[in-house]
Amino acid sequence: MSKKDFVASIQEGYSHEWDHLILWKAKLDHEVVSEATISIPLKTLNRHGLIAGATGTWKTKSVQLLLEWLSNHWIPSLVMDIKWDLSWLAQPGDGENKHIISRHTSLDLPYDATWFPVELLSLSDQPWVRLRSTVSEFGPLLFSKMLWLNHTQESVMSVIFKYCDDRQLGLVDLDDMKTVLKFITEEGKEWFEDSYGFVAESSVGTIFRKIVALEQQGADIFFWEPSFEVFDLVRTWSDWKWVINILRLTDMQDRPALFSTFMLSLLAEVYDVFPEAGDLDKPKLAIVIDEAHLVFKEASSELLDQIETVVKLIRSKGIWIFFCTQLPDDIPAPVLSQLWLKIQHQLRWVTERDRKAIKLAVENYPISDYYKPEDLIMELWIGEAFVTCLNEKWVPTPLSHTYLRAPQSRMDILTQAEIDIAISSSLLIHKYKDDLDKESAHELLQKEIAEKVKADGKNADDQNNGSVSHLLNNKFVKGVASDFTNQIIRWALRKMWLKVHGSRSFVKF
């Protein structure tokens, strides 16, 4: 097969009638072929995508580039930034950088450095837009999944939500839920059981302990008001660029269960509020999940089923989801089979799992007359990738060994002064800045208990369930305290082991 045939096959495979993103040029025999432009039609983006590759192979740069081009094409985006290496989009790239100049000379494309409008979001207490939710908005099912409740405990949770709904007890934060749990097993037990049936104290106790454990993971900060409205993700900065929403999740690396539940709640909310749209000319919103293995790492099989379902359904709302991870098999097979845009950076064969991942990646490519992907996948340079997507007739495009353009924005960290500028130009910060502390289940039940105690002529102080001493003495909490102590002991033992044996040895306590 000649170079001429190659160019003809790429040009035919990647000719699109509608708007498209030009991110790469194809390579043949390790040479850039400047006539062989590789592009993705915007129309088929809602069939979702995957970026995979070994560490340091430019996966996050691929994400950066995609976000830039989406913004340029009036598509708003939300990216889960686990390593905090995407905020860089807020500043222009370095047009004098010799690597960038040489890359763009080989591509025969101009390089225009520019910045992009970003909105910085946070799940915890950074001084930018806080992304929060209420327990009520999570609903009984998702809240139970987050706590890993079994079926019996899950049904108790459904009854509790119904009870709160009937009595108009707002469930905003975790304190609300804890107060309700205590109330229905103590002061309100009789009335609750008359109306809603018997609930085993052991089930309520387990739920209570799991909530306290969740608080210890820092989830209490997430459940608060005002809750975030997902339509706020869809905003234009000016009529030439759309906002890239960057959610900083650096503190989620060691809390994968919380991360996966948060992801599902966000996707479910987006699915819920966006209207049915069918196949559009371009997505309404792109959601990019960097380090996506964290979503699936500790998710229960039921949570995985739910994520799979939402990923499948959300495309009809015009939402594009893009997963970025090291090995393709980090993504469960049912989700992987729904990802049609594939950007595969270099994979390295170090372990048996790597060998299987390479095999899996290669098996999912269209057959190529020009490449031997099973060999080439290990020889790709930094900033190169295998690419295939769907064309406008929904047919996979030819597999292409590509060379990536450089991001137009910076490839280096922001200074504090630059972060401050991004914060001060935020369009949303004022909307979500102040905490709302409305009267919810916790306050309402406290009031009810106090009134009852007064009526019974007892000493209200002795009965005050909200006090710290009462909480520490609470029968439900004792188990958590010992679980937590065990965790600390395990952590300390592991630290000692690493000190003695070095970081390469692995031991699980």
Ligand X SMILES: Nc1ncnc2c1ncn2[C@@H]1O[C@H](COP(=O)(O)OP(=O)(O)OP(=O)(O)O)[C@@H](O)[C@H]1O
Contact 362/372 with Cβ under 8 angstroms? no
- Site size toward ligand X (CB under 6 A) is 15
Determine if 105 is a binding residue for ligand X (CB under 6 A): no
Please write down the long-range contacts of 466-471, taking CB distance under 8 Å and 24 or more positions apart: 466/179, 466/442
Smallest distance from ligand X to CB 206, Å: 38
Of 48 and 59, nearer to ligand X (C-beta) is: 59
Among ligand X, Mg ion, none, partner that 209 touches (CB below 5 to 8 angstroms by kind): none
Of 144 and 409, nearer to ligand X (C-beta) is: 409
Written as six digits, the tokens of 314 are: 């959300």
> Which span (51-59, 167-175, 229-237, 460-468) binds ligand X, by CB under 6 A?
51-59
Contact 35/11 with Cβ under 8 angstroms? yes
How far CA 423 is from CA of 4, 90, 122, 192, 420, in Å, comes to 51, 11, 12, 48, 5
Contact 142/265 with Cβ under 8 angstroms? yes
Q: Which residues bind Mg ion (CB under 5 A)?
A: 59-60
Of 58 and 208, nearer to ligand X (C-beta) is: 58
Smallest distance from ligand X to CB 436, Å: 37
Pick from 59, 130, 132, 145: which binds ligand X (CB under 6 A)? 59
Smallest distance from ligand X to CB 422, Å: 20
By CB under 6 A, what part of segment 470-509 binds ligand X? none
Determine if 60 is a binding residue for ligand X (CB under 6 A): yes
> Which span (52-60, 133-141, 273-281, 462-470) binds ligand X, by CB under 6 A?
52-60
In the shown chain, the binding pattern of residues 303 to 332 toward ligand X, with x for contact by CB under 6 A and - for none, equals -----------------------x------
At residue 35, the 3 state secondary structure works out as: strand
Pick from 307, 411, 428, 449: which binds ligand X (CB under 6 A)? 411
Determine if 58 is a binding residue for ligand X (CB under 6 A): yes
Contact 77/285 with Cβ under 8 angstroms? yes
CB neighbourhood size of 436 (10 A): 11
Pick from 61, 210, 401, 405: which binds ligand X (CB under 6 A)? 61
Pick from 382, 421, 489, 496: which binds ligand X (CB under 6 A)? 382
Measured CA angle at 444 (ends 440, 447), to 5 deg: 150
Gyration radius of the chain's alpha carbons: 26
> Which span (28-36, 58-66, 133-141, 420-428) binds ligand X, by CB under 6 A?
58-66
Rounded Cα distance, 198 and 41, in Å: 57
The β-bridge partners of 341 are 49
Q: Helices (DSSP H) in 80-216: which residue ranges?
A: 98-107, 135-146, 151-166, 174-185, 189-196, 201-216
Give the residues lining the site for ligand X (CB under 6 A).
53, 55-61, 83, 85, 99, 326, 382, 411-412
